[in-house]
Structure 1
Amino acid sequence: MQRIGEIKEPLYGYTQEIVMVPIDKLEVIEIQRKPSQYHVRRLSESMRKVGFVAPLIAIRRENHDKLIVIDGQHRLLAAKNMGIEQLPCIIVPDKFANELMEFNIEKSMTLREKCYVALNVYRIILNEKPDIKEDDTEVMDAIEFPYFITLGLAYEEKQRFFGSAYETIMKRLDWFFNMPIKDAYEKRKERAKLLMDLDDLAREAVQKVQEMGINHPFLYKEIISFCNPIGRRRKIEESFDEVMADGDTESESGKSCEGTRKDKRTQVL
């Protein structure tokens, strides 16, 4: 690694080091979302025209022989495709890593991507501080919404999981636990399993409604909304498990989601 120089950050005054780094001494931070191959190809075409003009942003970590890239995943992959052997990097203090992750958002993330990133951040904290309370300010500052973790676990286990259909319910029910994060993680796995079971039931309901001659792109979400036990109530006294058990019963019985729809098709449409 060749040191080029350093600059003083103009707002807070900390030092940013400028270096040239062999490409095999760079790796992407583990909480980054999955890369877009389309974006990589587009950047490769741009590099063919103007070269590599935007330095990567990276951090150093103790006992790690590579720099961790926190901004520039797609540029790094495109540079590898172009056969570039070393890249310019700006090294910033490790403590800014989580805040600087927002630089990686070239487009708005989908719910699945948000959950993927949040789950990886959560697991880093879990591995480093297994006894920290899940509702500790350190965890709450790092995770935008706790339900991202629950949905992330479901997405991870079931690729076709329709997480966005449950977001409205989860946002109102799924809060940070007042328990060690190692125990909270197990509770979230149980909740994710419950959501996946509900997803199976909802897909069965979709199939039965379609057999009645009703079909449109939002049918799944309409069924989840119609079976939602809490509806639009402002005050929810039931626990997460109680509400989900009610939703499970309604989906499985089909009384609300199938029989009612048969008489009131306009509510589906």
Structure 2
Amino acid sequence: MAATKKAAPRKKRGPAEPRGPLPRETRIDQDDPELRSQVALVETSGGAVLAAFRDPYAGRPLLLASLPLRAVEPTAFQRDLSRTHAQRLGAAIVDAGVFLDPIIAVAGAAGFHSPNGRHRLAAAKQLGLRAVTVLVVPDDDLVYRILPLNTEKAHNLRDRSMEVIRMARSLAKDRPKSKESDHATAFESAFLLTLGASYDQRSRFAGSSYQPMLRRVDVFLDGPLPKALRQRDQWATRLVDIDDRVALHIAALQERGFKSPYLRTLVVARCNPVRWIPAKRGQGPPMPLAEALQRMAASVRKFDAGKVRQQDLALVAAVAAEDG
């Protein structure tokens, strides 16, 4: 008779036992022996120590310092610089009127290197900053261990849209006289407002299918924010109605034996009123959003599922894979 295996002990759920320093134990003197070499490196680099403290997990001594921008370099192995992202970040800093986030700077023999601050450093340079606030870390090995610490969930289209529409609704209460266009930097893209309002009405709305069309025709409105949001809600209602009709065509295609995650993409693409209008740099939208929705609704009503061929679906899938 085979011996029965003991069940593996279950991991304890819930919060761990208290650890780390208490708040009053966190602050330490800048002349602490453990910080001596880091303080010296900050000062010889032309910087200034702002504070010294212990981290809340292991109680390790850290420094908050101001360093000349030239004294901090990004590590060579982090993701490549996106000029567009750096420019957007710079614009967001200007709009906020403050550079908030300290940059992690690992102190080493060759100076200070930031394992995750490439874009903030680029934005600071673009804005002409003379200094940056840094969190000085003494551990060289942290340069290679920083990536797992960046565990915030990546924003998908739904997350971004919901965040933007909630921000807009909050601003409409706090600053009702401000225009939607006044907050263009914070909202990032106008189509996120329309999609956010659509997700408000239908949590499982297939926003990514409509993004290509909305991106071409949606612009920020110049009216007061509360009025603009009412307009967004109306457009969202029309989008959800269009998607209801699209769902009927998807069902008809499935009855014909089509099986693919790209059925909605195919139907929406064929009904996209700006699909064949070339996009030209510097030109405005090819038509207003209201007109685009009206044309799209008409196209969806006329859509004939019987005319779809298997090769049409294969082409849509190939294009989608290329875009992804």
Q: Which residue of 2 aligns with 1:260?
A: 307
Q: Find out whether 1:207 has 2:251 as its counterpart.
A: yes
Residue matched to 2:62: none
Tell me the equivalent position of 2:161: 115
Match of 1:175 in 2: 219
| Structure 1 residue 245, shift from structure 2 partner | 1.2
Aligned to 1:144: 188
The answer to whether the 8 Å contact 1:98/1:142 transfers is: no
Q: In the alignment, residue 310 of structure 2 is paired with which amino acid? A: R
Match of 2:236 in 1: 192
Say which of 284, 292, 296 aligns to 1:243.
292
- Say whether the 8 Å CA contact 1:2–1:19 is kept in structure 2: no
Q: Output the CA distance in 2 between the equivalents of 1:266 and 1:14.
A: 65
**SS, match of residue 180 in structure 2:** coil
| 2:313 counterpart letter in structure 1 | V
Q: Distance in 1 between matches of 2:254 and 2:188?
A: 37
Deviating runs (4+, > 2 A) in structure 1? 1-8, 10-20, 51-54, 95-100, 102-108, 234-238
Mapping for residues 2-151 of structure 1, pairs under 5 Å: 4-5=26-27, 52=57, 106-136=152-182, 139-151=183-195
Decide whether aligned partners of structure 1 residues 212 and 129 sit closer, same or farther in structure 2, where only a CA change above 3 A counts: same
The Cα of 1:7 is off from its aligned counterpart by 11
Identity %: 23
Distance (whole Å) between structure 1 residues aligned to residue 246 and residue 240 of structure 2: 10
Deviations 1:93-147 (A, max 9, x none): xx689965x99872421111111211222222212111101111xx112111121
- Return the letter of the residue paired with 1:112: R
Could you say which residue in structure 2 is the equivalent of 1:86? none
Instruction: Please name the residue that 2:136 is paired with.
Output: none
TM-score by length of 1: 0.60
State whether residues 165 and 224 of structure 1, in contact with CA within 8 Å, keep that contact through their aligned partners in structure 2: yes
Is 1:219 the counterpart of 2:266? The answer is: no
Q: Give the drift of 1:191.
A: 0.9
Tell me the distance in 2 between the aligned counterparts of 1:212 and 1:233.
31
- Of 196-205 and 146-155, the range deviating more from structure 2: 146-155
Aligned to 2:111: none
CA spacing shift, 1:168–1:199, aligned 2, 3 Å: same
Structure 1: gaps of 5 or more residues = 21-50, 55-94
Distance 1:204 1:167 in 2: 20
Separation (CA, whole Å) in 2 of partners of 1:188 and 1:163: 14
What TM-score, normalized to structure 2? 0.51
Task: Kindly provide the CA deviation profile for residues 148-206 of structure 1, in whole angstroms up to 9, marking residues without a partner as x.
Answer: 11111111221221011011111111110011111101000011111111110111110
Runs of 5+ unmatched residues, structure 2? 1-21, 31-41, 60-95, 102-119, 121-148, 280-284, 315-324
Q: Alpha carbon RMSD of aligned pairs, Å? A: 3.7
Look up the SS of the partner of 1:135 in the other structure.
helix
- Counterpart-to-counterpart distance in 2, 1:183 and 1:221: 32
Counterpart CA distance in 1 for 2:204 and 2:297 is 19
Partner letter of residue 156 of structure 1? D
Please say which structure displays the higher CA radius of gyration: 2
